[in-house]
Amino acid sequence: MSFTDRLRRERVIAIVRGSDPKAAERTVHTLREEGVGLIEVSLTTPDAADVIARCVREAGGALIGAGTVLTADEARAVQQAGAAFVVTPALAEGSVTAHALGLPVVAGALTPTEVVRAVAEGATAVKLFPASVGGPAYLRSLREPLPHVPFVPTGGVDAETARAYLEAGALAVGVGSPIAGDAPHGGDLDALRTRCRAFLAAVAGHREGA
């Protein structure tokens, strides 16, 4: 299954951005246990490459990716850690290098010019970020001239807006604190499970084969 097909199946990339490496790792495992198949560990998390490497070893059927990859060195480091995909907040050297290394890239872009450039530089999908600036209506406007671009809106996406983005034509959505909450900082894992189940239920009608 291609990464694009996996995005189409899962519809959600859960973003883990924490202050505690062990808590971030526990968050990844909990998300995986609850059925989230695409999980991004942000490099703003302390020791993120090590967290990714440990999570990859116990990933089961989930794909563990790296987020906030900005530089070529970071792209090489997360490849060595075993990341299955790379996510960037903007067009940067990290996305170009990750693509050259053969990793699927969800490259951050906001304007039409940035979107076109992201695709030209080999992005598998475009992370529309911060999506909250324009909301689902902005996504619809972008898709009119760019109907074949696979968009992954990220930034301020909760369960309700996730449905709206998917209905507006998004391939998937990226979701951070609305699903992870305080768990990556050492917070309640039971509350994480509850949020995760509610979120997956909200997008269930858009998931393929899950």
Catalytic residue positions, numbered = 40, 127
Determine, yes or no, domain membership for 53: yes
Determine, yes or no, domain membership for 24: yes
Determine, yes or no, domain membership for 210: no
Determine, yes or no, domain membership for 181: yes
H or E segment and range at residue 54: helix 48-57
Amino acid at 82: G
What digits encode the pLDDT tens for the residues 132-183? 999 999 999 999 999 999 999 999 999 999 999 999 999 999 999 999 999 9
Determine, yes or no, domain membership for 13: yes
pLDDT reported for residue 206: 79
**CATH label of the domain that carries residue 163:** 3.20.20.70
Q: 70 CB contacts (<8 Å, ≥6 apart)?
A: 43, 88, 89, 90, 92, 93, 94
Q: Are 1 and 193 in contact (CB under 8 A)?
A: no
What digits encode the pLDDT tens for the residues 26-55? 999 999 999 999 999 999 999 999 999 999
Q: With 80 as the cut, is the pLDDT of residue 208 above it?
A: no
Torsion sign over Cα 28, 62, 47, 130: negative
pLDDT reported for residue 205: 83
What's the domain range around 126?
A: 3-205
Task: Look up residue 188 and give its DSSP letter.
Answer: -
Residue 63 sits at φ, ψ, to 5 deg, of: -105, 125
The mean predicted confidence, pLDDT, of the chain is 96
Q: How confident is the model at residue 202 (pLDDT cuts 50, 70, 90)?
A: confident
- pTM for this entry: 0.95
DSSP3 helix / strand / coil % (the chain, rounded to 5)? 50, 15, 35
The two tokens of residue 106 are: 């969800």
pLDDT reported for residue 209: 52
For residues 66-76, average pLDDT: 98
The two tokens of residue 145 are: 């001239």
**What is the total count of domains within the chain?**
1
